[in-house]
Amino acid sequence: MPVVHSAHFEMPTVRDTIAAIITAHAAAPVGIVRVSGPDAFSIGGRVFRGSGFNAAHAESHRIYYGHVHHPQTQEMLDEVLLLTFRRPRSYTGEDTIELSCHGGTYVLGQVLSAVLTAGARHAEPGEFTLRAFLNGRMDLAQAEAVADLIQARSARALRSALQQREGFLSRRIAALRRQALEAAATIEAWLELDEDESPPDAGSLRASLSQCAASIESLLRTSEVGKIVREGFRIAIVGRPNVGKSTLLNALAGRDRALVTPTAGTTRDVVSDTITLGGFNLTLYDTAGIRPAKGMVEEAGIQRAIEMASQADGVLFVLDARRGFTTGDQAVLQSINRPLIAVLWNKRDAVPESRLRKLLDTQIATNDVTPVLTVSALTGAGLDVLESVLTQHVRQASESSENEIVVRERHAEALRRALESLQASFRHLEGSDEIVLAAEELRRASDHLGAIIGETTSEDVVREVFARFCVGK
* pLDDT tens, residue by residue, 433-453: 678 888 899 999 999 999 999
State the amino acid at position 449 in one-letter form.
L
d(CA 424, CA 438): 7
Residue 297 pLDDT > 60: no
346-384 confidence digits (pLDDT tens): 999 998 988 888 888 877 766 667 889 999 999 999 999
Task: Look at residues 186, 177, 206 and name the one whose alpha carbon lies nearest to residue 447.
Answer: 177
77-114 confidence digits (pLDDT tens): 999 999 999 999 999 999 999 999 999 899 999 999 99
Q: Report the pLDDT averaged over residues 334-346.
A: 88
Q: How confident is the model at residue 457 (pLDDT cuts 50, 70, 90)?
A: confident
d(CA 205, CA 184): 10
Domains annotated for the chain, with CATH where assigned, are: 18-137 (3.30.1360.120), 145-222+407-467 (1.20.120.430), 234-397 (3.40.50.300)
Q: How confident is the model at residue 121 (pLDDT cuts 50, 70, 90)?
A: very high
Dihedral sign from CA coordinates of 363, 365, 371, 372:
negative
Q: E-strand spans in 189-313?
A: 233-239, 271-277, 280-286
**More reliable by pLDDT, 328 or 423:** 423
Res 187: pLDDT: 85
pTM of the full structure: 0.77
Highest mean pLDDT among 17-21, 147-151, 208-212, 468-472: 17-21
Q: Coil, strand, or helix at residue 282?
A: strand
Task: Look at residues 62, 43, 64, 45 and name the one whose alpha carbon lies nearest to residue 54.
Answer: 45
Q: E-strand spans in 162-261?
A: 233-239
The conformation of residue 38, written as its DSSP 8-state character, comes to T
Work out the number of other CB atoms within 10 angstroms of the CB of residue 25.
Answer: 13
Whether the CB-CB separation of 164 and 138 falls below 8 Å is answered with no
Res 258: pLDDT: 45
Residue 310 pLDDT > 80: no
Dump the DSSP string for 307-354: HHHHHSSEEEEEEETTT-S-HHHHHHHHH--S-EEEEEEE-GGGS-HH
